[in-house]
């Protein structure tokens, strides 16, 4: 009995979706367990024994106890889209993965705009993806940007206290500090928790700052490290544990410690 978990949790672990979305899929009759349609929320299953089907696809092979969950860090290069495919034929983050990982049906966690580079997490862990991208968790992301010239104290104070964009969008305070000065440029570090689309670029546009380079250096407890643009690597068990712990989830896999 100790192996029983809720069906929505089993779906999330398999990478199908978040746990909240799984409830809707179950209620609508899109999930089968041992060849029977299940609509009752709260149904318990044994991930090691029960056959779970979603829209006719057996997802049992994806369960975490069989190491089906994969976690990858990628240094996204510029002029790359943060999607699985692109109708315009541009390079996507998936194009930079080795062939064995391209077959794992991984999805990027959040986005980086076309001209930005840096850390992107890719995984088939739907529950983790949901929490890392949901604003209620206020998961910090750290960015290093190079701007033209030298921003004055008033600009930095405006960013730090929380500003209103020209379109009326109110932004939460952003931690900002100067890392270094050059002859005609300044390197800044910003820590965001709000996650508004293209937030840094929109802030800088409104404040008259020209961004020369924008790099995400960390996402929660995970850092970019020495990955060069276009390089990727699988996360270590400790990194997965820390990442899941940061959003209130236990570690899953052969070395689960709960």
Q: Where are the domains of the chain?
A: 5-66, 71-136+225-245, 140-219
Whole-number CA gyration radius for the chain: 21
- Same topology, domains 71-136+225-245 and 140-219? Answer is yes
Mean pLDDT over residues 36-40, rounded? 91
Q: Who's near 13: CB < 8 A, 6+ residues apart?
A: 47, 63, 64, 69, 125, 126, 127, 252
Asked if the model's pLDDT at residue 208 lies above 50, the reply is: yes
Mean pLDDT over residues 110-132, rounded? 91
Query: Quick one: 5-66 is in which CATH superfamily?
Result: RNA-binding S4 domain (3.10.290.10)
**Dihedral sign computed on CA atoms, order 155, 189, 122, 8:** negative
Catalytic positions, please? 113
pLDDT at residue 159 in the model: 97
- Residue 109 DSSP one-character state: S
Model's pTM, two decimal places? 0.74
pLDDT at residue 2 in the model: 55
> Helices in the chain by DSSP H: which ranges?
7-13, 19-27, 99-102, 126-133, 153-161, 199-207, 237-245
The whole-angstrom separation of Cα 9 and Cα 238 is 22
The whole-angstrom separation of Cα 136 and Cα 158 is 24
Q: How confident is the model at residue 256 (pLDDT cuts 50, 70, 90)?
A: very low
**Of 44, 52, 53, 61, the residue nearest 4 (C-alpha):** 44
**Which helix (H) or strand (E) covers residue 41, if one does?**
none
Q: Could you please state the CATH topology (level 3) that the domain comprising 140-219 is classified under.
A: Alpha-Beta Plaits (3.30.70)
CATH class of 71-136+225-245: alpha beta
Q: Who's near 92: CB < 8 A, 6+ residues apart?
A: 80, 81, 82, 83, 84, 85, 86
């Amino acid at each position: 009995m100790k192996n029983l978990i809720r069906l929505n949790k089993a779906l999330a672990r398999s990478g199908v979706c978040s746990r909240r979305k799984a409830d809707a899929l179950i209620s609508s009759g899109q999930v089968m367990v041992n060849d029977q349609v299940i609509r009752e929320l709260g149904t318990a299953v044994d991930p090691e024994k029960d056959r779970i089907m979603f829209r006719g696809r057996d997802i049992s092979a994806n369960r975490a106890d069989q190491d089906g969950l994969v976690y990858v860090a990628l240094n996204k290069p510029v002029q790359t889209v943060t999607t699985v495919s692109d109708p315009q034929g541009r390079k996507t983050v998936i194009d930079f993965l080795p062939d064995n990982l391209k077959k794992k049906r991984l999805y990027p966690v959040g986005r980086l705009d076309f001209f930005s580079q840096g850390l992107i997490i890719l995984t088939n862990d739907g529950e983790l993806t949901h929490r890392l991208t949901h604003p209620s968790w206020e998961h910090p992301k750290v960015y290093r940007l190079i701007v033209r010239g030298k921003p004055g104290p008033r600009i930095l104070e405006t960013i730090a206290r929380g500003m209103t964009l020209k379109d009326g969008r109110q932004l939460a305070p952003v931690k900002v500090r100067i890392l270094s000065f050059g002859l005609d440029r300044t390197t800044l570090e910003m820590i965001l928790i709000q996650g508004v689309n293209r937030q840094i670029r929109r802030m800088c546009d409104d404040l008259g700052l020209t961004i020369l380079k924008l790099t995400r250096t960390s996402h929660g407890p995970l850092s970019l490290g020495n990955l060069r643009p276009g390089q990727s690597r699988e996360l270590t068990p400790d990194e997965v544990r820390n990442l899941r712990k940061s959003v209130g989830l236990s570690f899953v896999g052969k070395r689960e410690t709960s």
